Amino acid sequence: MTGRARFASVVLDVDSTLSAIEGIDWLAARRGREVGARVAELTDRAMRGEIALDSVYGARLALVRPERGEIEALANAYVNGAAADAGTVVRALIDAGVRVVVVSGGVREAIVPFAASLGVRSTDVHAVSLRFAADGTYEGFDERSPLATATGKRDVVDALDLPAPALAVGDGSTDLAMRSAVAAFAAFTGFVQREPVVAAAEFVVPSFTSLQELVLA
């Protein structure tokens, strides 16, 4: 790693951080106004920390029941909604010797191709896998994944044993849960600003350009 990097590792959230898309909300919108509004409300309340993600994760998917083809479309939506300069900055961090990993409560099958478009290997992507029947219909999700819980990101980051010091970056309460597993937390406000998350963060980054300036200062 070069001597310029302030952090040896960076942990990135996906929804409303690397991309403007909230994956489950995007999928729910395809089920009509009522389902879309209900799922979006649950997502927002969980990200604000008003309700535990554990209590709504499976419920949201049960309402939506996404099909395999829709997950492929979601991957494209992530790419189209990518934060400005996200790919350029991620590659700059990696080129500087920084370990970059993606940790998300979103759907792994949609996030892996999106992360690849930014230069992140599939082995550095941690998200929740779905199960599909042979005809592509939804069968369920990996209920053992800690990422389907409110504090699971912390447990995943702990287990990764990343090069220190590590910086976690995200917009929601589930991202803030990583704080105890890293040296510092940066609230990303490029798409949404949640005041409790901002108040608890060591840094606030409104863009990926500002994240690069923070990490490679």
Residues tagged active-site: 13, 15
Q: Are 162 and 99 in contact (CB under 8 A)?
A: yes
Query: Which is nearest to 147 in space by CA: 1, 44, 14, 17?
Result: 14
- Separation between Cα atoms, residue 170 and residue 204, nearest integer Å: 10
Query: Which is nearest to 92 in space by CA: 212, 185, 204?
Result: 212
Rg over CA atoms, the chain:
16
CB atoms within 10 A of CB 77: 18
Query: Three-class SS of residue 180?
Result: helix
